[in-house]
């Protein structure tokens, strides 16, 4: 795989989600020309909230996005308190979020997913106003040449092709043609503006019951991002009022103000998803193609790490390109840095899903007793390898250091 010159290196990125946009920014900071191909004709504000744990915040900080991320636009909230509770609201454990910030150098942030995507898009367009092409659906890619074939019949060719097209990735079929499978869990999400009385009564974190859970986190502007999930057979989704009524039945009698929060959510803002999963593919690279985020390692959302790991992938990929201008060596480094890491997080996310959705009454009581007995320091030890990880050892991808690094490689 011959190395391109530093001036001509080009990446074609398939997908304009969080992983794809972060990859484009990261590679752009590393001196690459980037093109993002997104199949949708326009980027619709979609989704609900996303938690950015210190590992993701540190990775975004390495791109020089810290000031924008921390809410110059007023869209980001720093979470100071979070806990785990029974369905009735009795405390089980506290998440030591302030200790995490002290120990790992970054806070736990909560932002609306659409607002994070918009922030990343703005940052990318500041690097290159023409970086994103909408309405460009990728049909296939050639691992040997880096040629991407679009539905229009056009070809786009990159020295590297970054597959960031989500759990239904078309490019993943080159490595693993098996479809995503239902995990046994269904989730609901929403964003509400519940008013001061509900906000005053709400404790942020998760409430665990028997076979189901409910969680909530603050968003800017007096909004609350909430989520619910249940272990259940896969069934067709209903319309907004039907799903909302079903959620109210599921959480009837749970701690106040869960029912009020659901009721305050507009019917059309209640999102339902059967949670699907695929095992991480054996390799994150295939010739000139590399995979980031859900295209390689979709994970259940019970550690809040899906978006965080996509961000880590993007920063690690660009850092690997800085270490070596030889593409084969750089992609091998990316593979080495990410393979075990993402497989471990996928495994832990599934374990957490099973623990959170235990159903037998005796097992729920034993789980809750164990959580209450777990000391704070043990919680920190468990979280440290997960959220204390620094992408490529904290290598900076800020523009100014890269100018000198780029000159040195020419």
Same domain, 156 and 239: no
Residue at which a domain ends, from 277, 301, 320? 277
Give me the number of domains the chain comprises: 2
Mean pLDDT of 103-117: 94
Answer whether residue 2 shows pLDDT above 70. no
Same domain, 144 and 34: yes
Answer whether residue 4 shows pLDDT above 90. no
Rg (alpha carbons) of the chain, rounded to whole number: 21
Same domain, 162 and 295: yes
Contacts 24+ apart (CB under 8 A), 304-308: 304/50, 304/51, 304/53, 305/53, 305/345, 305/349, 305/386, 307/18, 307/19, 307/50, 307/52, 307/56, 307/113, 307/116, 308/51, 308/52, 308/53, 308/55, 308/56, 308/387
Is residue 81 within 8 A of residue 202, CB to CB? The reply is no
Q: Which residue has tokens 């800085």?
A: 322
Q: Is residue 98 part of a domain?
A: no
Distance of CA 197 to the CA centre of its chain: 31
- Helix 327-356 to helix 306-323 angle, to the nearest 10 degrees? 160
Residue at which a domain ends, from 245, 277, 309? 277
What is the pLDDT confidence band of residue 7, given thresholds at 50, 70 and 90?
low
Answer whether residue 16 shows pLDDT above 80. yes
What is the pLDDT confidence band of residue 409, given thresholds at 50, 70 and 90?
very low
Same domain, 291 and 393: yes
CA–CA gap between residue 383 and residue 339 (Å, rounded): 19
CA–CA gap between residue 114 and residue 227 (Å, rounded): 16
Distance of CA 410 to the CA centre of its chain: 35
Same domain, 142 and 265: no
What is the pLDDT confidence band of residue 273, given thresholds at 50, 70 and 90?
very high
Q: Is residue 136 part of a domain?
A: yes
Q: Is residue 224 part of a domain?
A: yes
Strands 91-95 and 138-141: unpaired
CATH of the domain at 145: 3.50.50.60
pLDDT in tens, 384-408: 999 999 987 666 666 544 333 333 3
Query: Quick one: tokens of 312?
Result: 């880590």
Strands 160-163 and 10-14: parallel
Q: Is residue 2 part of a domain?
A: no
CA–CA gap between residue 207 and residue 340 (Å, rounded): 31
Is residue 121 within 8 A of residue 21, CB to CB? The reply is yes
Query: Quick one: tokens of 399?
Result: 């523009």
Burial class for 190, CB neighbours closer than 10 Å (0-12, 13-18, 19+): buried
Same domain, 216 and 323: no
Mean pLDDT of 359-363: 96
Same domain, 242 and 377: no
219 three-class SS: strand
State residue 398's pLDDT score.
61
CA–CA gap between residue 285 and residue 294 (Å, rounded): 14
Same domain, 207 and 264: yes
State residue 407's pLDDT score.
31
CA–CA gap between residue 95 and residue 82 (Å, rounded): 5
Same domain, 253 and 289: no
State residue 254's pLDDT score.
98
Query: Quick one: tokens of 47?
Result: 């989704």
CATH of the domain at 222: 3.30.9.30
The domain in which residue 20 lies consists of: 10-79+113-180+281-408
Q: Which has the minimum average pLDDT: 15-19, 85-89, 254-258, 267-271?
A: 267-271
120 three-class SS: helix
Residue at which a domain ends, from 253, 277, 301? 277
Same domain, 29 and 132: yes
Is residue 178 within 8 A of residue 225, CB to CB? The reply is no
CA–CA gap between residue 309 and residue 213 (Å, rounded): 23
Q: Is residue 285 part of a domain?
A: yes
Q: Is residue 367 part of a domain?
A: yes
Is residue 305 within 8 A of residue 14, CB to CB? The reply is no
Mean pLDDT of 140-147: 95
State residue 47's pLDDT score.
80
Q: Is residue 100 part of a domain?
A: no
Answer whether residue 46 shows pLDDT above 80. no
Same domain, 264 and 294: no
pLDDT in tens, 284-325: 999 999 999 999 999 999 999 999 999 999 999 999 999 988
State residue 66's pLDDT score.
87
State residue 70's pLDDT score.
86
| DSSP states along 1-22 | -PPPPTTT-EEEEE--SHHHHH
Distance of CA 29 to the CA centre of its chain: 21
Is residue 297 within 8 A of residue 343, CB to CB? The reply is yes
> Taking CA 305 as the corner, what is the angle to CA 386 and CA 84, rounded to the nearest 5 degrees?
80
Report the sign of the C-alpha dihedral through residues 350, 355, 360, 362, in that order.
positive
Is residue 163 within 8 A of residue 289, CB to CB? The reply is yes
Is residue 337 within 8 A of residue 59, CB to CB? The reply is no
pLDDT in tens, 327-343: 999 999 999 999 999 99
Q: Which has the minimum average pLDDT: 44-48, 69-73, 96-100, 277-281?
A: 69-73
- Average pLDDT across the chain, whole number: 91
Q: Is residue 88 part of a domain?
A: no
- The Cβ of residue 403 has, within 10 Å, a number of other Cβ atoms equal to 11
């Amino acid at each position: 795989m011959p190395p391109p010159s530093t001036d001509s290196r080009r990446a074609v990125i398939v997908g304009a989600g969080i992983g794809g946009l972060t990859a484009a920014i990261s590679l752009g900071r590393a001196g690459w020309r980037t093109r993002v191909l997104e199949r949708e004709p326009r980027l619709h504000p979609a989704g609900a909230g996303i938690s950015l744990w210190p590992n993701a915040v540190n990775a975004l900080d390495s791109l020089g996005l810290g000031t924008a991320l921390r809410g110059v636009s007023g869209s980001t909230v720093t979470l100071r308190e979070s806990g785990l509770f029974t369905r009735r609201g009795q405390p089980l454990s506290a998440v030591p979020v302030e200790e995490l910030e002290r120990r790992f150098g970054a806070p736990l942030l909560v932002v609306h997913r659409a607002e994070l995507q918009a922030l990343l898009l703005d940052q990318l367009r500041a690097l290159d106003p023409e970086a994103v092409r909408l309405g460009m659906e990728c049909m296939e890619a050639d691992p040997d040449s880096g040629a991407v074939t679009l539905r229009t019949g056009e070809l786009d060719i990159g020295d590297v092709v970054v597959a960031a097209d989500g759990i239904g990735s078309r490019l993943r079929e080159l490595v693993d043609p098996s479809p995503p499978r239902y995990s046994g869990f269904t989730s609901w999400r929403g964003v509400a503006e519940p008013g001061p009385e509900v906000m005053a009564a709400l404790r942020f974190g998760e409430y665990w019951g028997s076979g189901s859970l409910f969680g909530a986190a603050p968003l800017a502007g007096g909004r609350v991002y909430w989520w619910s999930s249940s272990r259940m057979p896969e069934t067709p989704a209903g319309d907004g009022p039907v799903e909302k009524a079903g959620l109210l039945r599921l959480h009837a009698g749970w701690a106040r103000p869960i029912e009020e929060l659901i009721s305050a959510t507009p019917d059309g803002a209640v999102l339902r998803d059967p949670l699907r999963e695929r095992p991480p593919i054996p390799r994150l690279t295939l010739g000139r193609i590399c995979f980031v985020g859900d295209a390689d390692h979709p994970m259940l959302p019970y550690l809040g790490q899906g978006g965080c790991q996509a961000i880590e992938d993007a920063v690690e990929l660009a850092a690997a390109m800085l270490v070596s201008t030889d593409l084969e060596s750089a992609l091998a480094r990316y593979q080495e840095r990410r393979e075990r890491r993402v497989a471990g997080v996928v495994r832990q996310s599934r374990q957490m899903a099973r623990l959170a959705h235990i159903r037998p009454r005796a097992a729920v009581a034993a789980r809750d007793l164990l959580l209450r007995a777990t000391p704070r320091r043990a919680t920190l030890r468990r979280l440290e390898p997960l959220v204390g990880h620094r992408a490529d050892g904290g290598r900076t991808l800020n523009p100014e250091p890269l100018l000198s690094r780029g000159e040195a490689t020419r």
